[in-house]
Chain A
Amino acid sequence: MNRRDRGCERFDDSFEVFLDGELDADATSALETHVAGCEACASELALARRVRAGLRSLPRLEAPAPAVHAVLARVRDQGDRPIWRQWLALPRPAAVAAVAALVLLVVLAFGWIRPRQPESRLALEDPAVVRATLETKLALAHFASASRRVGTGLGRDLLRERALLPLARSVGDSLDGGTVNDDQRAVSAAPERG
């Protein structure tokens, strides 16, 4: 039996916990027994391991949040003081962390570390990730196609009212005409009433 079935699905959320070493003894032995006899789950578990290894090798993007908050607070509090004085006024560790965060951002923004991240690039080029990326796009394509059908039905106004209008549009600006044509806009933009 090569395909994952309903018996397999109950382990779906156990893989991550298992890899964290946080699955209790009974669940662990149930999982191990099942995986030993199920090729599909064995490869699912192997994939989870690869994904995990891939995530570990990604560049650490976490900016030191407390430092960022400290900077923001200073900027707010000391509005009109010259910038160099604002920076000097920061407590030392916070200033160091904030500068480190800025350097990280600048480095990322200019893509300077891109060519020097062979490990993380490897993770992102893992066939499983490439496949998942294609699947994500295919899923969105089907979502768009389904939305288009909905848009031609009687529900378009309702959808707009309930779902579209209250949503943040911040990402919208980054989508220019190049990727969205007029036909597509007809679905995503306000329908003419009449």
Chain B
Amino acid sequence: MRDVRSRQRRIVIGVLALSLWTSGFAAAAEQPIESHPGYFSLDDLGLVDPALSSVDINLRGAMLRLVGASVLQEEPSLAALVSDLVAIRVLVTPANELRAQQVDTVLGRGAASLEKAGWQRVVKVREADEQVHVYLKEVDGQIEGMTLFVYEPSDELTLINLVGRVDVEQLAAIGQAFDIPTLESALDADPAKTPDPDDRR
């Protein structure tokens, strides 16, 4: 009998989790992104011309829901993490497309405006060969967004804004499993790229 009961409990919890998961999706899709506490406009930094970026990713609400649904069967951990995100913005620009001094100034200004908007600085490294800023937006003890600037003058500038319930550790762990060159070439070969006017590479 205990067996049956624990199975019943598991099933009920499963149903509940499923309904919470889908309702979370719906709630996430409704809110205008700019009003989300975890949103920070990387584009407003005015630092990066997306045309010069090697990576220009801008994913939001409804599309992230579809991504979550599409990986649900094969990659449930990824689906769970994606379901907590409301938007993903990533810009990666080769350093040789940028003027180091300008980057320095603009990142400093960006960091200041994040702090002014109530973001918590988690990491700040400003050295000749590397500049790293990591900011978190917490609301009621819950992380609602994360913004990263990573600049290596000899390599590239990476700007990231993750909006939503960001599980830093899990996102990094899952992200490690993905190979950047493989994904980039898959994206280059992707037929969906042709009708998309936003040519990313």
Chain A interfacial positions (CB closer than 8 Å to B) = 2-4, 6, 9, 12-13, 16, 39-40, 43, 47-48, 51-52, 54-55, 58, 61-65, 68, 71-72, 75, 82-83, 101-102, 104-106, 108-109, 111, 114, 120, 123-150, 153-155, 158-159, 162-164, 166-169, 171-172, 174-175, 179-181, 184, 187-188
Contacts and interface: CB of A to CB of B under 8 A. Distances in A.
Contact of B158 (A12, A52, A142): A142
30 contacts: A16-B29, A47-B196, A51-B66, A62-B22, A83-B1, A101-B15, A124-B70, A127-B190, A128-B192, A129-B67, A129-B70, A130-B70, A130-B192, A137-B175, A138-B178, A139-B57, A142-B55, A142-B160, A143-B162, A144-B171, A144-B174, A144-B178, A145-B175, A148-B176, A155-B132, A158-B122, A168-B167, A175-B77, A184-B177, A187-B176
A129 B148 contact: no
A135 B197 contact: no
Contact of B180 (A2, A142, A171): A142
Contacts of B175: 137, 139-145, 147
> By DSSP majority rule, is chain B's interface helix, strand, loop, or mixed?
helix
Nearest to A102: B11
Interface of B: 1, 4-5, 8-9, 11-12, 14-16, 18-19, 21-23, 29, 32-34, 43, 50-51, 55, 57, 59-67, 69-71, 73, 76-78, 80-82, 88, 90, 92, 120, 122-125, 130, 132, 134, 136, 141, 143, 146, 148, 150, 152, 158, 160, 162, 167-180, 183-184, 186-187, 190-193, 195-199
Contact of A143 (B122, B172, B192): B172
A169 B187 CA distance: 31
B187 to A, nearest CB: 5
Nearest to A168: B167
A141 B197 contact: no
Contacts of A128: 63, 192, 196
A13 B73 contact: no
Given A61-B18, A150-B132, A139 B4 contact: no
Contacts of B168: 147, 159, 163-164, 167
